[in-house]
Amino acid sequence: MLRDAQRMSFYKENIISIGDAVTEDLIIKELNKRSVILRFPDILESVFLEYYLHHAIVQIRLSLFLGMFLYAIFGILDAWIFPGMKRQLWIIRYLIVCPGLLFAFLYSLVVKKELTIQLVYSLVIILAGSGIIAMLIMVPKDIGNIYYAGLMLVIFYAYIFSRLRFVFATVCAWLITLIYVFVSVNVQNLYTPFIVNNTFFLVSSNIIGMGSCYMLEKYVRNDFLKTALLQIEKIQLEKSNIKLQELSYIDGLTNVPNRRQFEKALREEWNRALRQGHPLSLLMIDIDNFKLYNDHMGHVTGDECLIMVAEVIKSFGRRPGDHVARFGGEEFCVILSGTDSTDAKCIADEIRKKIKDMRIPHPASQVSEYVTVSVGVATVVPDKGRSKDELLREADKALYMAKKRGGDCTVVIDITDSADKQ
């Protein structure tokens, strides 16, 4: 489960990082292509190579460590079978090949580039195979072929256990085979049937190894595509869910947050003000005589009026911690974080003035010939003995008082001071 989570995390980071270049259509096209070539289009191939290294690096390090261990442990056979030549054989084994494997292992711990790791790993595998061939040259021909089995081990190691990609494993194994054939013919001068027999087995090992390595990389590539496709679909679903969630918090008419979002924001700002000890103000704004406006001007014009008023109010909620919402009907709310009652009243009066200055005709108004608003303001420095509901009640109470005073005015209730200000 942890490995699956890490793999999905890799996809999310890398698919998002390359933006729209890797699309669902591109991945589906590659899945349906059924190409025998082990390569994707460049933009997708670059992500796959990162994924391949991310997916295989642990096994690469393990195979290097175990390869070094096995190569070293066979030194016991050197001492047992050829005690008189063990020093020369150990020079190849312990001073050339094992240090090369150790270097590749340490290199894989610090370098994160897939291509360079593959190249370095390929070179040390060729070095390991060449080391065995060098031993074959050094020991007597009549019993030297006992080292021949080591070449087959190296070839299978390159194809199956090393996690080299197909192209690198193939180049390594065939190069080792060609070096062996050249040496056996031109340096060792082996009996022809031995050369043919050994070459036949090496070629057969290469063919079997190529098939296995090819199928393994093909499987990994298909798994990459399928999982990437699932991840893209998941990202798209997450985006859709976020958009739906955002829509559920937005008032469809005025395009400002709705009451649901207001309650969420009020809860968050209350808790923040409680932690930090700063004041919190709440403005409740109501359009004066809006029912008469609807009756006289019609609901379509009434909706247009609500939209214009909302735009004005929204312009006063730009600071971090400030929130504007449609509370319901013709009522709007503004949460002002870190704002005391004096500043909150100034903002409320500016909102009233700006709305009135729009000169939206209101022939049926009992307050003014233009659309006006009344504002109730409540301010408090939250403490554990109070709640956000008290702030909401006091703002509603202040709005009621403003309406009772004829509208187009602001009433402030500072809960901390328990004093009314107009």
Tens digit of each residue's pLDDT (9 = 90 or more) over 159-195: 999 999 999 999 999 999 999 999 988 888 878 888 8
Predicted confidence (pLDDT) at residue 6 exceeds the cutoff of 70: no
CA 342-348-353 angle, 5° bins: 125
Q: Are residues 271 and 348 in the same domain?
A: yes
Residues 43 and 114 in one domain: yes
- The pLDDT assigned to 9 comes to 52
- Are both 222 and 349 inside the same structural domain? no
215 is a domain residue: yes
Residue 267's closest CA among 103, 96, 392? 392
pLDDT of residue 29: 84
Residue 84 in domain: yes
pTM over 0.75: no
CA 93 vs CA 69, 98, 159, 389: distances in Å: 11, 6, 22, 80
Q: To the nearest whole number, what is the mean pLDDT of the chain? A: 88
133 pLDDT higher than 90: yes
Provide the pLDDT for residue 15.
Answer: 47
What is the C-alpha separation between 227 and 233, in angstroms, rounded?
A: 10
* Residues 172, 56 share a domain: yes
**Selection from 203, 201, 68, 186 nearest residue 127 by Cα:** 68
Q: Domain check: are 274 and 194 in the same one?
A: no
Residue 389 pLDDT > 70, yes or no? yes
Regarding whether 155 and 79 lie in a shared domain, the answer is yes
Centroid of chain to Cα 65: 32
Give bridge partners of residue 225 from the DSSP assignment.
Answer: none
Q: Looking at the structure, do residues 55 and 175 belong to the same domain, yes or no? A: yes
Sign of the CA dihedral 323, 327, 332, 333? negative
Scan for tokens 């009243």, then name that residue. Answer: 345
Catalytic positions are 330
pLDDT tens string 345-370: 999 999 999 999 999 999 998 889 99
The answer as to whether 102 is a domain residue is: yes
Considering the domain architecture, whether residues 224 and 281 belong to the same structural domain is answered as no
CA Rg, the chain, in Å? 39
Per-residue pLDDT band for 227 (boundaries 50, 70, 90) equals: confident
Could you tell me the CATH number of the domain that includes residue 267? 3.30.70.270
Residue 127 has pLDDT above 80, yes or no: yes
pLDDT tops 60 at residue 20: no
Strands 410-414 and 373-380: parallel
Query: Does a structural domain hold residue 146?
Result: yes
Question: Do 165 and 285 fall into the same domain?
Answer: no
Out of 11-25, 52-66, 138-152, 400-414, pick the least confident.
Answer: 11-25
CA 185 remoteness from chain centre: 56
Backbone angles phi, psi at 21, to 5 degrees: -65, -40
3-state SS string for the chain:
CHHHHHHHHHHHHHHHHCHHHCCHHHHHHHHHHCCCCCCCCHHHHHHHHHHHHHHHHHHHHHHHHHHHHHHHHCHHHHHHHCHHHHHHHHHHHHHHHHHHHHHHHHHHHHCCCHHHHHHHHHHHHHHHHHHHHHHHHHCCHHHHHHHHHHHHHHHHHHHHHCCCCHHHHHHHHHHHHHHHHHHHHHCCCCCHHHHHHHHHHHHHHHHHHHHHHHHHHHHHHHHHHHHHHHHHHHHHHHHHHHHHHHHHCECCCCCCECHHHHHHHHHHHHHHHHHHCCCEEEEEEEECCHHHHHHHHCHHHHHHHHHHHHHHHHCCCCCCCCEEEEEECCEEEEEEECCCHHHHHHHHHHHHHHHHHCCCECCCCCCCCECCEEEEEEEECCCCCCCHHHHHHHHHHHHHHHHHCCCCCEEEEECCCCEEEC
Average pLDDT over residues 12-35: 66
Quick one: 273 and 187 in the same domain?
Answer: no
Q: What is the mean pLDDT of residues 221-236?
A: 84
Whether the per-residue pLDDT at 5 is higher than 80: the answer is no
Distance, in Å, from the CA atom of 13 to the CA atom of 176, rounded to the nearest integer, reads 39
On whether residue 394 sits in a domain, the answer given is yes
Q: Six-digit token pair at 104?
A: 């590749």
Q: Which of 2, 1, 12 is nearest to 227 (CA)?
A: 12
Q: How confident is the model at residue 246 (pLDDT cuts 50, 70, 90)?
A: low
10 has a pLDDT exceeding 90:
no
3-state secondary structure 278-336: CCEEEEEEEECCHHHHHHHHCHHHHHHHHHHHHHHHHCCCCCCCCEEEEEECCEEEEEE
pLDDT tier, 317 (very low <50, low <70, confident <90, very high otherwise): confident
Q: Which strand ranges, in their side-by-side order, compose the sheet holding 280-287?
A: 323-328, 331-337, 280-287, 373-380, 410-414, 419-421
**Residue 249 belongs to some domain of the structure:** no
pLDDT band at 22 (very low <50, low <70, confident <90, very high): low
Q: Structural domain tally of the chain?
A: 2
Q: Which two tokens stand for residue 144?
A: 């030297």
Q: Over range 77-105, report the average pLDDT.
A: 93
pLDDT tens digit sequence for 283-296: 999 999 999 999 89
Could you list the residue range(s) of the whole structural domain that residue 263 is in?
Answer: 259-421
| pLDDT at residue 2 in the model | 41
Q: Compute the distance between CA of residue 152 and CA of residue 163 in angstroms, rounded to an integer.
A: 17
**In this predicted structure, what is the pLDDT of residue 384?**
86
Give the residue from 216, 222, 224 showing the smallest Cα distance to 52: 224
- Give the confidence band of 21 by pLDDT, cuts at 50, 70, 90: low
340: nearest Cα among 272, 413, 267: 413
Mean pLDDT of 121-149: 88
211 and 267 inside one domain? no
Decide if 382 contacts 410 (C-beta within 8 A). no
Model confidence at 273: pLDDT above 60: yes
Pair 210, 337 in one domain? no
